[in-house]
Amino acid sequence: MDHVTVKDVMERFGLELSAGAEGIGRHIASSDISRPGLEVAGFFEYYPANRIQLLGKSEISFFSMLPRLDKMERARKLCSPDTPMLVVCHSMRIPPELVAAAEEEQVPLLSSPMTTTKLSNKLSDFLENRLAPMTAVHGVLLDIYGLGVLITGKSGIGKSEVALDLVKRGHRLVADDMVEIRQVAEDTLVGNPPELLRHLLEIRGLGIIDVQMLFGASAIRDFKRITLIIDLELWDPERSYDRLGLEEEKLKILDTELTRLTVPVRPGRNMSSIVEVAAMNHRMKQMGMNAAEQFSERLNDMIGREQDPSY
């Protein structure tokens, strides 16, 4: 998992530092944002100290009305050792008691010209993405007819070659060889290439090629939600492959289950066509049209009629 520091957030959102510069390296562990309205009013029982604290117009206005001693006490409590940072929105004037407490406890106190709601949304988007659980898999990720297809299989089975062929047919390459996968929401996995490998494809005999340079902007994507996994393996005569497509095999990555097809590789089988059709067929299934199931029903109907003519 990536870790995010106060400095990252500061630079990303152009926040201005008012106090607590020593704490700028603090880690932000939670993507939740807190607006400590009740805390400003004195109720610290459930203070979510480990979140970013956003102070908007109402919090600051209320705070300003408090007696001086309350201000000092609550400012100090807001700047707890676990608090990553405090942000004052609307570029409001920051009460001196808050500055003093932040300075003393070394909690970064920042200000932003943005409105509280807007900053809150942007911060939580940014943090959810950066803090999402991540894993990396060996494989190729492509966007085929808008469907994110992850092709896996042993080294040398021909994943990159399939990818090249699919790019030539107008599909898009997301990542070759190494795919970083993050779970950005429930049941949503997004894959992207490691920064260094972006747009690159390695083809044995050719070496490294730059897909964007060779095929243009339409041939690449920087990230894509993964919907289907196709595992290529050498044809194993002992193993029985799915002949009907009635059963669906699932594979769990992080906390999300994805459909996985195991497709055997053998001379005479055009892998890129098969992968392309698998993606189309998966789309049809998602839309509720399952050829295998429809066929199976038709067959059962016919068998039923044979068994009992009045059926």
Partner 1 sequence: MTERTLEVKLKSGLQARQAALFVQEANRFSSDIYLEKGTRKVNAKSIMGIMSLAIARGVEVTLSADGHDEEDAVTALSAIIEDEAAG
In the bound state with partner 1, the residue whose beta carbon lies nearer, of 208 and 244, is 244
65, 240, 252, 266: residue in contact with partner 1 (rule CB under 8 A): 240
Is 292 near partner 1 (CB under 8 A)?
yes
The response to whether 207 counts as a known ligand-binding position is: no
The response to whether 159 counts as a known ligand-binding position is: yes
In the bound state with partner 1, the residue whose beta carbon lies nearer, of 21 and 246, is 246
214, 234, 244, 291: residue in contact with partner 1 (rule CB under 8 A): 244
Q: Is residue 70 among the annotated active site residues?
A: no
Query: Following CA atoms 137, 143, 144, 145 in sequence, which dihedral angle do they give, to the nearest 10 degrees?
Result: 150
Interface stretch with partner 1, choices 25-33, 100-108, 167-175, 302-310 (CB under 8 A): 302-310
CB of 51 vs partner 1, minimal distance in Å: 53
CB neighbour class for 244 (10 Å; exposed up to 12, middle 13-18, buried from 19):
exposed
Task: Give the active site residue among 74, 77, 159, 224.
Answer: 159
Please tell me what DSSP assigns to residue 242: P
45, 207, 216, 307: residue in contact with partner 1 (rule CB under 8 A): 307
CB of 241 vs partner 1, minimal distance in Å: 9
The response to whether 57 counts as a known ligand-binding position is: no
In the bound state with partner 1, the residue whose beta carbon lies nearer, of 186 and 308, is 308
The response to whether 272 counts as a known ligand-binding position is: no
Angle between helices 57-65 and 68-78 (to 10 degrees): 140
Interface stretch with partner 1, choices 80-88, 118-126, 190-198, 303-311 (CB under 8 A): 303-311
CB neighbour class for 283 (10 Å; exposed up to 12, middle 13-18, buried from 19):
middle
204, 243, 252, 266: residue in contact with partner 1 (rule CB under 8 A): 243
In the bound state with partner 1, the residue whose beta carbon lies nearer, of 216 and 309, is 309
Is 246 near partner 1 (CB under 8 A)?
yes
145: nearest Cα among 306, 246, 287, 5: 287
Contact in structure between 229 and 148 (CB atoms under 8 Å): no
Q: Is residue 138 among the annotated active site residues?
A: yes
Pairwise CA distance, residues 205 & 207, whole Å: 6
Contact in structure between 96 and 122 (CB atoms under 8 Å): no
Q: Is residue 285 among the annotated active site residues?
A: no
By three-state DSSP, how is residue 74 classified?
helix
In the bound state with partner 1, the residue whose beta carbon lies nearer, of 186 and 238, is 238
Strands (E), 45-177: 52-55, 86-88, 109-111, 134-138, 140-144, 147-153, 172-175
Q: Is residue 7 among the annotated active site residues?
A: no
The response to whether 154 counts as a known ligand-binding position is: yes
Is 300 near partner 1 (CB under 8 A)?
yes
Is 42 near partner 1 (CB under 8 A)?
no
Q: Collect contacts of 57-65 with beta carbons under 8 A, ≥24 apart.
A: 57/89, 57/90, 57/92, 57/116, 59/35, 60/88, 60/92, 60/93, 60/94, 60/95, 62/37, 63/95, 63/98, 64/95
38, 206, 213, 302: residue in contact with partner 1 (rule CB under 8 A): 302
By three-state DSSP, how is residue 295 classified?
helix
Residues within the interface to partner 1 (CB under 8 A): 240, 243-244, 246, 292, 295-296, 299-300, 302-304, 306-307
Active-site positions read: 138, 159, 177, 243
